[in-house]
Amino acid sequence: MKFISKYRKHRFARPLLLLFSLCALGFTFSVATAAPSSNSMAADARSTLIEEGQQIFLKGCSSCHGLNAEGAGVGPSLIGVGAASVDFQVATGRMPMQDMSQQAMRKAPVYDEEEVAALAAYVASLAPGPRAYTNEEIKWERDGNTAEGGELFRNNCAMCHNFAGQGGALTQGKYAPTVMGVEPRHIYEAMITGPQAMPVFSDKTITPAEKLSIIKWIKSAESEPSLGGAPLGRVGPVTEGLLVWTLGLGLLIGIAVWLTAKSR
Amino acid sequence: MTARERIAGNVANYVDERTGAAAWLKKNLNKVFPDHWSFMLGEIALYSFIILLLSGTFLTFWFDPSMRHVVYEGSYQPLKDVEMSAAYASTLHISFDVRGGLLMRQIHHWAALIFVAAIVVHLLRVFFTGAFRKPREFNWILGVALLTLAIVEGFLGYSLPDDLLSGTGIRIAHAIIQSIPVVGTYLSFFAFGGAFPGEVFIPRIYIVHVLLLPGIFLALITVHLMLVWYQKHTQYPGPGRTEKNVVGYPLMPVYMAKAGGFFFIVFGITAFLGAVASINPLWLYGPYTPGQISAGSQPDWYMGWLDGLVRMSPPLETYLFGKTISWNILIPGLIIPGIIFTGMALYPFIESWITGDKREHHLLDRPRNVPNRTALGAMSLTFMVIAMINGGNDIIATHFDLTINQIMWFSRIGIIVLPPLAFVITKRICLSLQRKDRELVLHGRETGRLVMLPHGEFIEVHEELSPAKKFALTQHEQPAAIELVKEDARGVLNPKGIRAKIQARLSSANAENIAKPTAAEVKELESGHH
């Protein structure tokens, strides 16, 4: 370090040092505020998405779920529910709720797919939770097994959703909705998040492959033609009894009246 | 005489000389039946039974009543390679791989629902018109027995395919058997050959379903019809109709044609239902395993009331001397049905005790003229309908946006409050209809024609009823109440005591009627009619 000790008292030393320091400072600053590279651009878009999601959340959800999704008297905390829950609840129109009834019902979604993604990103940013899926990721047609799915459905799902997936009643006005006409990703997300009255079916209870089989069985039941004639709602013997007492006996008694009518 | 007539005559003569059938046929083919639509309700039941025999026989050709484990290899893909019982597999085979099998299965099931429904409406007709009165009490009891057996037979048939729904029904039947105090467990072991589900109940209920019960049905139906034949048919009152005659058409040719034609119509409607409406789509239910259950598991309609009673019963259970008694199953599952069916069977005797009427009756009552009986019928029906509604509470809840709890509480309260209310309302309606009849006989029918009299007064012209109509409205007799005899002339207390008191009280309620117009009143009005 002879060089430094030799010239440190040089008359140009101070201005040079000042110049060097200013340059260093300027460079650091310019690096810190420079236009982002390709890698940091994704991170930034993500933070914008989260920002956007937060804005939607503040407008549409915070009155029940709290300003920081910490939950309030009416709505539960959303910290840790993950993107899967948001995608299921919002993209099927269940959230935001229309009224404070027992259960949020399925309706036309309020937010479009992009807004749902933003909301999901925001909620997922609060704490880790199950991620959302796309329909393309759920490869039920390739990996599912209908018969096995039927067994699994009858074992795990039919007690609430009915043997043909038509839905059924639960206590106090809650109900299991029909699983007909539901997008595969939403069926999958429902199983992993357990929305509303539904329990969570973790990957240990029902493996991902088995979940695909269940979806395949549901899709097969959905597209199965009504083999015996009018399906009568596929809700079991109640509608059959109704038909017998109205149309069946109605016709028979009507004809008995006709047979015994006096000719005038 | 043409050649053909001669040959026919010779054949008939040949048969007659050896059997003596001509005289018997002549007498019976001329037998007269009264004409009314409500007399054909029992026929619907009879014809459905024949349809059940025919379609059921078809099904037995392929059905395998066994609980042997098989792996399904038939043509219904969603159940491919699923393990199931041979009973379920063979039912799937009938449905998908036997030509016409699904249609026959559906016809069989629809016919079963129509069979029980027709028995019920037939029974209601007999009840509300008083056709069960002397001398027809035994036939009434036979009818109640047939209804009970029909419900059991239907339930066994529903249980045979061993699908998820029928297995659930069997499970509930098993629970009801177990609820019998002390012997319930032993009885259930006896019936199921061990613990539920075991391996024997499908073969057992099969033989009861296809052999024992149909045999009993045939015997009871035969006796039921022979009694109708022997006692002659009842008829509605009207001019020329008495307790000693039957007004109507002869069996040959009129009723041969009507009844024969009606059989084909019943068959046609059943086949139509079987062709266009799905019933018991058991391939969707899947095979039965005790670990599974479906939401909306219901019995067929004729068991719906029983299910509804069980569903509404509060969770009562006692634990006595080391034995658990499940009142919540025992009361709705056995005690209440027992009371209902026993009461129904004994009703003719109860009514004749109340009215003190021991005479024969072949002329039917118009329901309004016996307000108490009609009100009792409406009360029982209300009870059954509420129980039935609760049996479908989950389906009603999802389809009408209600909660199961609301429906259950409606049923719990309603089943106690509404039947008595129905009694009172029906009785009042009957009495009002009697008033209307009285008004009609005395003042005629309102024509709606207004006439202005010369002095400016407006009157509505009433049209007098025909004598036939007047007769029909006034021919019935109105019962007098039985006087309560506290002590006889010599001061001895009536030995019947409280029974006499109850009888007198019920009888005076039964005698509550609007006085029908007397001949004197009619005559007086006829002489100076406005």
In a domain, A30, yes or no: no
Name the DSSP class of A74.
S
Chosen for mutation from B51, B80, B279 (greatest number of chain A CBs closer than 10 Å) is: B279
Across residues B386-402, what is the average pLDDT? 93
Note whether A118 and A154 are same-domain residues: no
Q: How many CB atoms lie within 10 A of CB A20?
A: 10
Who contacts B154 (Cβ-Cβ below 8 Å, separation ≥6)?
Answer: B112, B113, B115, B116, B300, B302, B303
In a domain, A22, yes or no: no
| Confidence check: pLDDT of B38 > 80 | yes
d(CA B268, CA B44): 12
* Mean pLDDT within B11-23: 88
Cα B146 to Cα B154: distance, rounded to the nearest angstrom: 12
Q: What is the pLDDT of residue B202?
A: 94
B406 in any annotated domain: no
* A123, A140: one domain: no
Q: Which tops the pLDDT comparison, A148 or A102?
A: A148
Nearest CA in chain A to B104: A228
Q: Output the pLDDT for position B120.
A: 97
Structure confidence by residue, pLDDT tens digits, A212-263: 999 999 999 999 888 889 999 889 899 999 999 999 999 999 999 998 887 6
d(CA A26, CA A28): 5
Comparing CA positions, the residue from B381, B409, B380 lying closest to residue B393 is B409
Tell me if B375 is assigned to some domain.
Answer: no
Same domain, B199 and B90: yes
Q: Are residues A219 and A190 both part of a single domain?
A: yes
- Which residue, chain included where needed, has tokens 């309700």? B41
| Structure confidence at residue B254 as a pLDDT band (50, 70, 90) | confident
- Same domain, residue pair A213 and A138: yes
% of chain B beyond a pLDDT of 90: 71
> Residue B202: which of B79, B142, B288, B271 has the closest Cα?
B288
Q: Chain-wide mean pLDDT for chain B?
A: 92
Instruction: Identify which of A146, A175, A240 has the shortest CB distance to residue B77.
Output: A146
Taking only residues 68 to 97 of chain B, the set having a beta carbon closer than 8 angstroms to any beta carbon of chain A reads 77-82, 95
Contact A238 B304 (CB under 8 A): yes
Chain A residue with CA closest to B406: the answer is A172
Residues of B in contact with A251 (CB under 8 A): 269
- Do A256 and B262 count as a contact with CB atoms less than 8 A apart? yes
| Predicted pLDDT at B433 | 96
Q: Of B18-22, B148-152, B184-188, where does mean pLDDT reach its minimum?
A: B18-22
**Which stretches of B83-218 are assigned E, i.e. beta strand?**
83-85
Taking the CA of residue B41 and the nearest CA in chain A, the distance in Å comes to 7
The alpha-carbon gap from A118 to the nearest alpha carbon of chain B, in Å, equals: 33
Task: Using the predicted structure, report yes or no on whether residue B307 has a pLDDT greater than 90.
Answer: yes
Question: Domain span at residue B515?
Answer: 445-527
| Structural domain includes residue A252 | no
Residues in chain A with CB shorter than 8 Å from the CB of B274 are 229
* Six-digit token string for A152: 């699994």
Tell me how close the Cα of A218 comes to any Cα of chain B, in angstroms. 10
**pLDDT recorded at residue B248:** 86
**Does some domain include residue B501?**
yes
Interface of B with A in 436-475 (CB under 8 A): none
- Judge if the upstream peptide bond of residue B78 is cis by omega within 30 degrees of 0: no
For the ranges B12-21, B23-32, B440-449, B487-496, the lowest mean pLDDT is seen at B487-496
Q: Is A249 exposed, middle or buried (0-12, 13-18, 19+ CB in 10 A)?
A: buried
Q: How far is B335 from chain A (nearest CA, A)?
A: 25
CB atoms within 10 A of CB B526: 10
The alpha-carbon gap from B9 to the nearest alpha carbon of chain A, in Å, equals: 33
- Mark which of A105, A132, A159 sits at the end of a domain: A132
B87 neighbors B69 (Cβ within 8 angstroms) = no
Looking at A103, A132, A161, which one is the last position of a domain? Answer: A132
| Confidence class for position A264, pLDDT limits 50, 70, 90 | low
Q: How far lies B133's CA from each of B130, B140, B141, B365, B473, in Å?
A: 6, 9, 11, 10, 21
* Closest CA of chain A from B297, distance in Å: 7
| CB spacing of A162 vs B404 below 8 angstroms | no
Whether residues B3 and B60 share a domain: the answer is no
pLDDT tens figures, B162-185: 999 999 999 999 999 999 988 999
**Contact residues on chain A for B410, CB-CB shorter than 8 A:** none
User: What do you get for the CA distance between the two ends of chain A, in Å?
Assistant: 134
Residues A49 and A128 in one domain: yes
Q: Following DSSP, what letter does each residue of A105-128 receive, concatenated? A: PP-S-SS-HHHHHHHHHHHHHHS-
Residue B293 to residue B291: CA distance in whole angstroms:
7
User: Averaged over B403-431, what is the pLDDT?
Assistant: 96
Judge whether A216 and A146 are in contact, CB under 8 Å.
Answer: yes
Cα angle B373, B375, B434 (rounded to 5 degrees) comes to: 85
ipTM of the shown complex: 0.91
B288 touches chain A (CB under 8 A): no
CB contact under 8 A, B293 and A217: no
CA nearest B79 in A: which residue? A147
In-domain check, residue A152: yes
A150:B37 CB<8 A:
no
Structural domain contains residue A198: yes
**A110 and A188 in a common domain:** no
| Same domain? A124 vs A44 | yes
Contact across the interface for A259 and B294, Cβ inside 8 Å: no
Domain identity same for A142 and A122? no
Tell me: do B12 and B56 sit in the same domain.
no
For residues A83 and A144, membership in a common domain is answered with no
Do both B26 and B53 map to the same domain? Answer: no
> Residue B493 carries which side chain, given as an amino acid letter?
L
Contact criterion met (CB < 8 Å) for A171 and B403: yes
Reported as a single tens digit per residue, the pLDDT across A16-65 is 888 999 999 888 888 777 665 555 566 777 788 899 999 999 998 888 89
- Do B355 and B479 reside in the same domain of the chain? no
Nearest partner of A162 among A64, A59, A239, judged by Cα: A239
| Structural domain count of chain B | 3
Give the residue with greater pLDDT, B252 vs A179: A179
Contact A227 B36 (CB under 8 A): no
The CATH number of whichever domain residue A179 belongs to comes to: 1.10.760.10
List the single range of A2-6, A35-39, B231-235, B448-452 with lowest mean pLDDT. Answer: A35-39
Interface of B with A in 370-399 (CB under 8 A): 392-395, 397-398
Same domain, A58 and A84: yes
CB pairs under 8 A between A and B: 205
- Cα atoms in the Cβ-side hemisphere of radius 13 Å centred on B529: 16
Q: Would you call B300 and A245 a contact, using CB atoms and an 8 Å cutoff? A: no
Q: Is residue B212 part of a domain?
A: yes
Burial of B443 (0-12, 13-18, 19+ CB in 10 A): middle
Same domain (yes/no): B15, B63: no
Q: For the segment A134-190, what is each residue's pLDDT rounded down to a tens digit?
A: 999 888 888 889 999 999 999 999 999 999 999 999 988 899 999 999 999 999 999
B106 in contact with A, Cβ within 8 Å: yes
Distance from C-alpha of A165 to C-alpha of A149, rounded to nearest angstrom: 12
B471-485 pLDDT per residue, tens? 999 999 998 888 888
* Structure token pair of residue B195: 């613990």
In a domain, A44, yes or no: yes
Q: Determine, yes or no, domain membership for B400.
A: no
Does one domain contain both A59 and A97? yes
Q: Which of B279, B393, B398 sits opposite A175 (nearest CB)?
A: B398
* Contact across the interface for B41 and A253, Cβ inside 8 Å: yes
Let me know if residue B404 belongs to a domain: no
User: How many domains does one find in chain A?
Assistant: 2
- Å between A55 CA and nearest CA of chain B: 35
Query: Nearest to residue B282, comparing CAs of B149, B118, B169, B396?
Result: B169
DSSP assignments along B294-359, one per residue: -TT----HHHHHHHHHHHHS----EEETTEEE-HHHHIIIIIHHHHHHHHHHHHHHHHHHHH---S
B155 falls within a domain: yes
Q: Which long-range contacts (CB under 8 A, 24 or more apart) does B180-183 make?
A: B180/B330, B180/B334, B181/B323, B181/B325, B181/B330, B182/B323
Are residues B357 and B504 located together in one domain of the fold?
Answer: no
- Domain of residue A180 covers 133-223
The reply to whether B167 and B66 lie within a common domain is: yes
Q: Say whether residue B400 is in contact with chain A using an 8 A CB cutoff.
A: no
pLDDT in tens, B317-362: 998 888 888 999 999 999 999 999 999 999 999 999 999 999 999 9
Q: Which of A240, A246, A263 to mutate to test the interface with B (most CBs of B within 10 A)?
A: A240
What distances in angstroms separate CA A232 from CA A244, B280, B396, one per listed residue? 12, 10, 14
Q: Are residues B163 and B276 in the same domain?
A: yes
Residues pairing with B459 in the sheet = B451
Whole-number percent of chain B with pLDDT over 70? 99
The confidence score (pLDDT) of residue A97 equals 87
| Same-domain pairing of B63 and B126 | yes
Helices marked H in A81-207: 82-91, 113-126, 140-143, 146-156, 158-161, 184-193
Residue count (chain B): 530
Same domain, B344 and B203: yes
